Amino acid sequence: MDLSMILMKLAEGMLVSIEIFVLTLLFSLPLGLLVAFGRMSKCLLLSLPIKLYISIMRGTPLMLQLMVVYYGPYYLLGISLPRGYRFIAVIVGFVINYAAYFSEIYRGGIESISLGQYEAAKVLGYSRTQTFFRIILPQVIKRILPSVTNETITLVKDTSLAQVISVSEMFIAAKALASKEQSVVPFFAAGVFYYIFNYLVAFVMEWLENKLAYYR
């Protein structure tokens, strides 16, 4: 198999990796904000379970979490799920994992805002909702963007973990090609694909950081 065919096969797997990446960000970023609110709640019945959830997500491997999401319904509840559930399980596993990490990033950003800004907004007649979305959140986004960038770059590489439940993303394609061709070329080619993907992500995130650097 020549290099063009190898690249074509890897590109097919890369599309799956991109799909996992996009869907994970699409759902985990807003979910992470909701989890952060629950984590900061003064209601212990809400904050304590969420603290436990965050602790479990951050304290156990993503690979293990994917396996639990995929195999759990059958082994724990005896539910037989359709074949298409494999990809859904990947998205669910990634989303609940990354939402936990993003929630702590959000929490750090929110708690870094001085109380004086809340008081000033109250004096100006803003409601709590208006204060958060018009004044606090834009500043939080600006402050947490470097941390979000780091997690986003990690996500690009973590998409390869979908192989643990046999979702045919790019790393599985590279392994299959390397085994078939008895060559390391597919692995080098996959590395180039991952590098380009990460470079593009880093470029976009840096562009966003510069756009939000109002006073620099």
Assess whether pLDDT exceeds 70 at residue 41: yes
Q: pLDDT grade, residue 103 (50/70/90)?
A: very high
List of long-range contacts for 148-153, beta carbons under 8 Å, 24+ apart: 148/102, 148/105, 148/205, 149/201, 149/202, 149/205, 149/206, 149/209, 151/98, 151/101, 151/102, 151/105, 152/25, 152/201, 152/205, 153/198, 153/201, 153/202
The rounded distance, in Å, linking the Cα atoms of 28 and 34 is 10
* Least confident piece of the model among 29-38, 49-58, 168-177, 191-200: 168-177
The pLDDT score that the predictor gives to residue 35 is: 95
Q: What residue segments make up the domains of the chain, in order of their start?
A: 3-212
Assess whether pLDDT exceeds 80 at residue 200: yes
pLDDT one-digit tens code per residue, 115-155: 888 888 888 888 888 888 888 888 888 889 889 999 999 99
Q: pLDDT grade, residue 211 (50/70/90)?
A: confident
Angle 49-95-176 (CA atoms, 0-180°, nearest 5)?
135
Query: Taking each helix axis from N to C terminus, what angle separates 85-111 and 137-158, rounded to the nearest 10 degrees?
Result: 140
Question: What is the distance between the terminal CA atoms of the chain, rounded to a whole angstrom?
Answer: 52
Report the mean per-residue pLDDT for the chain. Answer: 86
The pLDDT score that the predictor gives to residue 12 is: 78
What mean pLDDT is predicted for residues 28-51? Answer: 93
Fold of 3-212: MetI-like fold (1.10.3720)
pTM of the model: 0.88
Query: How many CA atoms within 13 Å lie on the side-chain side of 166?
Result: 6
**Which helix H or strand E contains 177, and what residues bound it?**
helix 170-181
Q: pLDDT grade, residue 82 (50/70/90)?
A: confident
The pLDDT score that the predictor gives to residue 216 is: 52
Q: pLDDT grade, residue 54 (50/70/90)?
A: very high
Assess whether pLDDT exceeds 60 at residue 215: no
In 3D space, the residue among 192, 199, 169, 196 whose CA is nearest the CA of residue 94 turns out to be 169
What mean pLDDT is predicted for residues 18-39? Answer: 94
Q: pLDDT grade, residue 2 (50/70/90)?
A: low
